[in-house]
Amino acid sequence: MSEDLTAVARFLFEAGTLKHSKRTGWWMAGVKDPESVADHSWRTALIATIIAKLEGADPGRAAFLAVWHDTGETRTGDVNHLGKKYTNGQADARDITADQVTGMPEVLARALRDVIAEYEEKESPEAVCARDADKLECMIQGVEYRDQGYVNAQRWIDNSRGRIVTKSGRALADAVLGTGSLDWLRAALGEK
Amino acid sequence: MSEDLTAVARFLFEAGTLKHSKRTGWWMAGVKDPESVADHSWRTALIATIIAKLEGADPGRAAFLAVWHDTGETRTGDVNHLGKKYTNGQADARDITADQVTGMPEVLARALRDVIAEYEEKESPEAVCARDADKLECMIQGVEYRDQGYVNAQRWIDNSRGRIVTKSGRALADAVLGTGSLDWLRAALGEK
Amino acid sequence: MSEDLTAVARFLFEAGTLKHSKRTGWWMAGVKDPESVADHSWRTALIATIIAKLEGADPGRAAFLAVWHDTGETRTGDVNHLGKKYTNGQADARDITADQVTGMPEVLARALRDVIAEYEEKESPEAVCARDADKLECMIQGVEYRDQGYVNAQRWIDNSRGRIVTKSGRALADAVLGTGSLDWLRAALGEK
Amino acid sequence: MSEDLTAVARFLFEAGTLKHSKRTGWWMAGVKDPESVADHSWRTALIATIIAKLEGADPGRAAFLAVWHDTGETRTGDVNHLGKKYTNGQADARDITADQVTGMPEVLARALRDVIAEYEEKESPEAVCARDADKLECMIQGVEYRDQGYVNAQRWIDNSRGRIVTKSGRALADAVLGTGSLDWLRAALGEK
Amino acid sequence: MSEDLTAVARFLFEAGTLKHSKRTGWWMAGVKDPESVADHSWRTALIATIIAKLEGADPGRAAFLAVWHDTGETRTGDVNHLGKKYTNGQADARDITADQVTGMPEVLARALRDVIAEYEEKESPEAVCARDADKLECMIQGVEYRDQGYVNAQRWIDNSRGRIVTKSGRALADAVLGTGSLDWLRAALGEK
Amino acid sequence: MSEDLTAVARFLFEAGTLKHSKRTGWWMAGVKDPESVADHSWRTALIATIIAKLEGADPGRAAFLAVWHDTGETRTGDVNHLGKKYTNGQADARDITADQVTGMPEVLARALRDVIAEYEEKESPEAVCARDADKLECMIQGVEYRDQGYVNAQRWIDNSRGRIVTKSGRALADAVLGTGSLDWLRAALGEK
């Protein structure tokens, strides 16, 4: 390992800020202390695994895309739809990744540029599944917030549901909407 | 999609509790509101990607293992080393996964059992990289907490560093320890 | 005071972690930042006082048992019912206390071992009252969370109510369920 | 149990607000999200037990006094020393207790009035021990906050130490100041 | 600038504690982590601007009064109505301001004493508007908390609404009660 | 008051989101739960009052500008310097205000457009003072975070200090840097 890993070390501290960064849309929904971008990215990866498997795509690849898909938000923040109305164009995640990997060993840098590019190009089956997972994760979080009392979360549930495109993603969304948020505990304890 | 996805839906709500579940060791270090298990799992997946790439293993597979490695903590909690001293044996993550996937489409259930089993068996190169990533993530978090003022975080830095086994993981740990936690911002702004 | 109090000092720092430790079941109920184990233990002691007085037992002794009853959770964490399914047996609080008091002046060590043993043995009237207080405290907290919007808190209300055994505890639970959570303020201001 | 327990139920909801009420002095020390009054009262009860046992007083009675000593803060808040400068006189806890117990079964009401009165009169050995515990608890919390990075916590450590009067309380304070806040974990793991 | 600004510097640190200080009434309403006094004062100033403009008073002056109206709470805390019942008289904000500005350049000190005095005297049109803004701000926050699930917030909505005295303040309160808390987002996105 | 105040009501709910919105730069400095935009705006208004008075400008007007200066962040979020690198141009606060006041009574709408325009044009003495207050507020918060243990806050202290332009602002900054963050309490208690 004679290569200099300083740029990698810097990136890992940079990534750490996404444990602090909140998904800012939830502030509008009334949630004072919402999930972090990291929290969201993690369950998105679980869901990407599942949708990809059900769709016959590569679950590991879909999870991999999901894990990395928001890493550019360390620099732009989680800018919502409303904010984009007031700027000319928005940041391209590929530009940010290019900056983030500068100085990393090239074999690694290339792999990271590739994973972000694949997600942004929205074409591979795994990218499509990971993007659906991003929406479905938001929908489930919305259901959870609604069950915690936030009445305005309904808007996020409806909007997210409407943006899911795969057959498996839609079926899974419907299953989620038909399942109580605490049913898992009852099932785990053998109550039903 | 004629299969019943209710068990999958239940699992996704179950997984959501790991956005709430704290990494409890940090309470001992004096951190009142520490990172969630989800936060930790997410950066672990980033690190697993990187270590695997540097080690010549499959980065996507390593990330995939890392994403899923703590999903059993929905049921056991994040039990620390000290607590294990007072029970006879500890939970086997494979038993928990077997319960969690009951009722899921079998093709999916098998994939999830496999990913947990691979991680627990500690033998594949990707499992080794993902396990190192788990330790390195804790070490970096320790550095961040120390830089936030928590003097007792040093213990976690030292313990985690000592448990990393791959050559790349060790080199990366050293690079992290030689890099300031805010150097990334200076570099990103072209200050140095 | 020529005795060495270092072991006592260590214990007081150890106990301090229960101000950070959350009652983890509430995470499942959707509460992101729930009460601490210390918060719970404190109101449990108030309730134990009251139930014991109403039952004709010693209120001070019951409060004393309640104050100390969760001190072993510094080592095991607040392991929930579901987690216990995956380990062989669970920690015995008396074993933990024995370790915690090692090195303390013997007169003190014995008193602490005795208070934990009395609670664990579930036989003295005061232990019975303190155990009921533990359940009733959880029920009241459930009502409070429900009134804060958490719909899933109902399960904890129902389960806790069902586990109360003393006549006074049951009567008090019924009174709580028939009283609004803000009635106290109206009464305090002379509104009714 | 033919008596009406509505007043007791109201009091238990009232007491619940002390899980939310912060010890406000810590805001001045720079702690944004400090311990609750309940958190503090709980460890105060542990410490009262210990000081009383070491002083040859009744540990259960001292714990009992400590548990109840701040219950009047549901109505006044945690008013600090500085605030008292601007009002003529301050609330008498006995007046508040008298209001809180109105409507409770008289046997219970009397017991609660007595416990508050004993604490406020500062004369019984147990009241003296409980009052020392109140100061020592604050001192230990100050040490913990200092070790979490809050430099201004030192003032609270010094002030609290200076107000402890019993021989055992002073000896225990010195032992705390000579013990690292994480030593307990090392000892628990058999490291030293 | 040859004058000594140390007293001003001290005051700015003192004022900073109101970012930490919570509006304590909300704890009673079940809100664990409510808004700060600073949060409240800020929107109060926005509202004071608006009511004053609609009433034909000076909007800048009203905003100015609102910004400063709670600066004395650094010393007294946010004492609620219930707490005032147990003390003889309450703090006069003018006394606190007099102490806070001691040592400041006299031209500045006089300006600050004047702004607090004007607010406390409740006579100028701008003071009346700012005081109404204080109530209306509380009412709106109550609506927001209710929409976040806190059922007991209704009391604060009703009480605040009833204490507003200006015609514009009352009309604005009615408009708020007739508007959904998320309508602004729909309007901003051109949905209606 | 026959005018429709619905647009005003909508704006007040919109403004309420700034009690939730965090000053995102602090996440980079390691602060997990930093001040809100509202918190910052409030103390900025206090400081604007003071700088304006010392500079011979209108303190009420400067406070007024400060109170309103960040109201556009309800739509853009608190975008930091780094994020601006990746978009073409940034939002103009005047465009946002124009949208926010649409539908308000015109006399009010004009006043709000004027206050934002004055701040953005950076020319009036009061705008200059308010802008300095914005920087000085950040510097003081940086000192407070540093005293809470966050070592990386130093960067924000230095950067903010360097951007203050008025003579009074600079003198006050120096006074702040020469004053301990808890000196105010000692002075308030007459200790020195």
| Residues D150, B152: C-beta atoms closer than 8 Å | no
Burial of A123 per CB tally in 10 Å (0-12, 13-18, 19+): exposed
Closest Cβ–Cβ partner in D30, D32, D82 for F147: D30
Distance CA F10, CA E28 (A): 27
pLDDT band at E1 (very low <50, low <70, confident <90, very high): very low
Structure tokens at F182: 């808890």
pLDDT of amino acid F2: 55
Does F31 contact B148 at a Cβ distance shorter than 8 Å? Answer: yes
**Which pLDDT belongs to residue F175?**
98
Task: Annotate A26-47 with three-state secondary structure.
Answer: HHHCCCCCCCEHHHHHHHHHHH
Q: Report the pLDDT averaged over residues B142-152.
A: 98
State the chains in contact with C (3 or more Cβ–Cβ pairs under 8 Å).
Answer: A, B, D, E
Query: d(Cα B45, Cα B61) in Å, to the nearest integer?
Result: 10
Token pair for F180? 């301990």
Nearest residue of B to residue C80 by CA position?
A: B76
The closest CB to that of E149, out of C33, C149, C189, belongs to C149
> How far apart, in Å, do the first and last CA atoms of chain F sit?
54
What's residue D88's pLDDT?
73
Q: How far is the alpha carbon of F7 from chain D, nearest alpha carbon, in Å?
A: 35
Residue of A56, A125, A158, A184 whose CA lies nearest to B1: A56
State residue B2's pLDDT score.
54
Let me know: does D128 contact D165? Beta carbons within 8 Å.
Answer: yes
Of the candidates E116, E137, E109, E110, the residue with the CA atom closest to the CA atom of residue E37: E137
Give the pLDDT of residue F161: 98
Q: Which of D3, D35, D64, D160 to mutate to test the interface with C (most CBs of C within 10 A)?
A: D64
Q: B136 or C88: whose pLDDT is higher?
A: B136
Measure the CA–CA gap between B43 and B49, rounded to whole angstroms: 10
pLDDT surpassing 50 at residue F1? no
Tell me whether residues E179 and F4 touch, CB distance under 8 A.
Answer: no
Dist CA F72 CA D104 (whole Å): 54
Min Cα distance D147 → chain B (Å) is: 6
pLDDT at residue number C192: 67
Are B33 and F29 inside 8 Å of each other by CB?
no
> Phi then psi for D95, rounded to 5 degrees?
-65, -40
Q: Model confidence at B127, in pLDDT bands (50, 70, 90)?
A: very high
Closest partner residue to C33 (CB to CB) among E33, E149, E152 is E33
Structure tokens at C154: 């109902």
Nearest-Cα distance to chain D for B175, in Å, is 25
- CB contact (8 A) between residue B151 and residue D147: yes
Residue type, C77: G
Instruction: Say whether F152 and B147 touch across the interface (CB within 8 A).
Output: yes
Instruction: Give me the residue spans of the domains in chain F.
Output: 6-188
Q: Which two tokens stand for residue A116?
A: 């972000």
Mean pLDDT of chain A: 96
Q: Mutate which of C145, C154, C182, C192 to test chain E, going by most E C-beta atoms within 10 A?
A: C182
Exposure class string for F21-32: b at 16+ Cβ within 10 A, else e? bbbbbbbbbbbb
The tokens of B21 are what? 């579940």
Is C29 in contact with A182 (CB distance < 8 Å)? yes
Confirm whether the ipTM is greater than 0.95.
yes
Contacts of E91 in chain D (CB under 8 A): 83, 86-87
Which residue of D lies nearest to E29 if distances are taken between CA atoms? Answer: D17
Q: Does the structural domain C6-188 have CATH classification 1.10.3210.10? A: yes
- Whether pLDDT at A162 is above 90: yes
For chain A, give the percent of residues with pLDDT over 70.
98
Hey, what amino acid is at E4? D
Q: Which of A39, A45, A188 comes nearest B99 by C-beta?
A: A188
Q: Do A18 and B42 touch (CB under 8 A)?
A: yes
A42/B108 Cβ within 8 A: no
Q: Residue F38 is encoded by which pair of tokens? A: 């509202």
Residue of C nearest to D22 (CA): C39
* Contacts for B12 with CB less than 8 Å, ≥ 6 apart: A43, A46, A47, A50, A140, A176
Q: What is the pLDDT of residues F47-103, one digit of tens each?
A: 999 999 999 999 999 999 999 999 999 999 988 888 888 987 778 999 999 999 999
Q: If pLDDT is split at 50, 70 and 90, which confidence band does F3 have?
A: confident
pLDDT of B1 above 50: no
Q: Which chains touch A (3 or more CB pairs under 8 A)?
A: B, C, E, F
Q: Whole-structure pTM over 0.90, yes or no?
A: yes
pLDDT over 70 (residue D2): no
The CA distance from A53 to the nearest CA of chain E, in Å, is 36
Nearest CA in chain B to A50: B108
* Banded pLDDT at A88 (limits 50, 70, 90): confident
Task: Establish whether chain A is in contact with chain D, requiring a minimum of 3 CB pairs below 8 angstroms.
Answer: no
CB contact under 8 A, F13 and E144: yes
What number is the average pLDDT over the span C83-95?
A: 86
Distance CA B73, CA B83 (A): 14
Contact F81 B150 (CB under 8 A): no
Evaluate whether F21 touches A27 at the Cβ level (below 8 Å): yes
In this model, does residue C40 exceed pLDDT 60?
Answer: yes
Which is higher by pLDDT, D10 or E89? D10
Cβ–Cβ under 8 Å, residues B104 and B8: yes
Q: How many CB atoms lie within 10 A of CB C107?
A: 11
DSSP B124-192: SHHHHHHHHHHHHHHHHHHHHHHHTT-GGGHHHHHHHHHT--SHHHHHHHHHHHTS-TTHHHHHHTT--
Residue in chain F nearest B32 by alpha carbon: F32
Residues of chain D positioned with their CB less than 8 A from the CB of C45: 42, 45, 67
Contact C182 E32 (CB under 8 A): no
Contact (CB<8Å) D149/B152 = no
Whether A182 sits inside 8 A of B13 (CB atoms) is: yes
Is the pLDDT score of C1 beyond 70?
no
Radius of gyration of chain B (CA): 18
Residue of C nearest to D13 (CA): C181
Q: Residue C154: what pLDDT? A: 98
Instruction: Name every chain D residue with its beta carbon within 8 A of the beta carbon of C35.
Output: 19
B64/A49 CB distance under 8 A: yes
Q: Mean pLDDT check: name the lowest of C25-34, C82-91, C144-153, E65-74.
A: C82-91
In the structure, what pLDDT confidence band is assigned to residue B79 with cuts at 50, 70 and 90?
Answer: confident
The minimal CB distance from A108 to the residues B12, B53, B170 is found for B53
Query: Among candidates F49, F50, F51, which has minimal Cα distance to F165?
Result: F51
What was the pLDDT predicted at E29? 97
8 Å CB contact between F97 and F121? no
pLDDT score of B71 more than 60: yes
Supply the pLDDT for residue C79. Answer: 83
Query: D–F: how many Cβ contacts below 8 A?
Result: 30
Tens digits of residue pLDDT in C42-79? 999 999 999 999 999 999 999 999 999 999 999 999 88
Contact yes or no for F91 and A86 at CB 8 A: yes
CA-CA distance, D79 to F55, in Å (whole number)?
A: 38
List Cβ neighbours of F180 (8 Å cut-off, separation of 6 or more). none
Residue type, C149: G
| Chain C residues within an 8 Å CB radius of A152 | none
Gap between the Cα atoms of F152 and A16, Å rounded: 14
Do B43 and A15 make contact, defined as CB atoms within 8 angstroms?
yes
- Note whether D185 contacts B28, CB cutoff 8 Å: yes
3-state secondary structure chain E: CCCCCHHHHHHHHHHHHHHHCECCHHHHCCCCCCCEHHHHHHHHHHHHHHHHHHHCCCHHHHHHHHHHCCCCHHHHCCCCHHHHCCCECCCCHHHHHHHHCCCCCHHHHHHHHHHHHHHHHCCCHHHHHHHHHHHHHHHHHHHHHHHCCCHHHHHHHHHHHHCCCCHHHHHHHHHHHCCCCCHHHHHHCCCC
> Considering only CB atoms, which residues of chain E are within 8 Å of chain C?
28-33, 81-82, 148-152, 155
Phi, psi torsion values for B120, nearest 5 degrees: -70, -30
Residues B46-55 pLDDT 10s: 999 999 999 9
Instruction: Give yes or no for a contact between E49 and E137, defined as CB atoms under 8 angstroms apart.
Output: no
| CA-derived radius of gyration, chain C | 18
> Under an 8 Å CB criterion, which residues of A touch E?
28-33, 81-82, 148-152, 155
Q: Is E144 within 8 Å of E156 (Cβ atoms)? A: no
Q: How far apart are CA B169 and CA B175, in angstroms?
A: 10
- Residue of chain B minimizing CA distance to F31: B148
Q: Which residues contact D162 (CB under 8 A, 6 or more apart)?
A: none
| Residue E22, strand partner residues | E36
**HEC secondary structure over D111-172:** HHHHHHHHHHHCCCHHHHHHHHHHHHHHHHHHHHHHHCCCHHHHHHHHHHHHCCCCHHHHHH
pLDDT in tens, E155-187: 999 999 999 999 999 999 999 999 999 999 999
Contacts of E31 in chain C (CB under 8 A): 148
Strand partners, C36: C22
> What band does B188 get if pLDDT is binned at 50, 70 and 90?
very high
Whether F and C touch, i.e. at least 3 CB pairs below 8 A, reads as: no
D77-128 confidence digits (pLDDT tens) = 988 888 888 987 778 999 999 999 999 999 999 999 999 999 999 999 999 9
